[in-house]
Amino acid sequence: MTEHDQAVAAGEGVKWSWPSVHPEGRKFALIAAAITIALALAGWTFFAWLFVGLTLWVLAFFRDPVRSVPQGADFVVAPADGMVTLIRHVPPPRELVGVNGLADAPMMRVSIFMSVFDVHINRAPIAGTIRQIEYIAGKFLNADLDKASEDNERQHFLIERADGVKIGFTQIAGLVARRIVPLSKVGDVVVAGERVGLIRFGSRVDVYLPAGTAPKVALGQRCVAGETILGVIGDGAAAVAISQ
């Protein structure tokens, strides 16, 4: 149990603290910091200050904050921070369709766009066993475009619950993103909200909700990975929202 969990269990509440930096980002921060020092020693003060800003941005980009995951057997939590930009009824990725995969029938897809200012650690939307991870090389189009789901570099995940319910979700590279980094492997048993991967640097995640499950989020809504409930499995009542 983490200090955060111990404090909550003891009824002490929690205090704000700086989020940790994921190990994947530390090497980039060290490189930026080394260049900053080199520029400063060379007397190139203006460029040194630019790299100070870049170093801080890298640290912020790879931040890995603690999340409080809602506990509910049928909750589907957001795998990514960002804005819901697309909600559409579409065929699932062909790589995830099959006897042991998703049904070959249209599913509700919720797309979450991550800007370069969002946390880029991706989390499991449900608890279960990772049955499939499929990496597909592709283009680097704007991740906001619908066709990015089929054209861009991407990585599909298939997670199966103990009762056989399956969820598919896809990490999609964008204009700036050039690397999809897995943090888990096929056969791993994960809990909802557990870290499973990240994308560098700005991208999108698509989630395919099971049949009979309507999205509980609306277009334009901000999601928090591991905390926002995208849907409740078997609940077909869609969320109603008003932009204001």
| Separation between Cα atoms, residue 94 and residue 103, nearest integer Å | 10
Q: Specify the pairing of strand 222-223 against strand 20-21.
A: unpaired
The answer to which of 40-44, 127-131, 175-179, 182-186 has the lowest mean pLDDT is 175-179
Helices and strands: H and E segment counts in the chain: 4, 15
Catalytic residue among 111, 149, 184, 203: 203
pLDDT band at 174 (very low <50, low <70, confident <90, very high): low
The whole-number pLDDT of residue 240 equals 80
Q: Give the DSSP letter of residue 186.
A: T
Find all residues with CB under 8 Å of 153, minimum gap 6, and list them. 136, 137, 138, 139, 140, 172, 173, 177, 180
**203: annotated active-site residue:** yes
Give tens-digit pLDDT for 20-67: 888 888 888 999 999 999 999 999 999 999 999 999 988 988 899 999
Cα-to-chain-centroid distance, residue 174: 13
Q: What is the mean pLDDT of residues 168-172?
A: 92
Residue 199: C-alpha distances to residues 103, 173, 178, 230 (Å): 27, 7, 8, 20
Q: What is the pTM of this model?
A: 0.83
- Output phi, psi for 82, to 5 deg: 140, -170
For 56-79, the pLDDT digits (tens) are: 988 988 899 999 999 998 999 999
Residue type at 75? F
Kindly report which listed range (5-9, 94-98, 101-105) carries the lowest average pLDDT score.
Answer: 5-9
Query: How far apart are the C-alpha atoms of 43 and 180, rounded to whole Å?
Result: 37
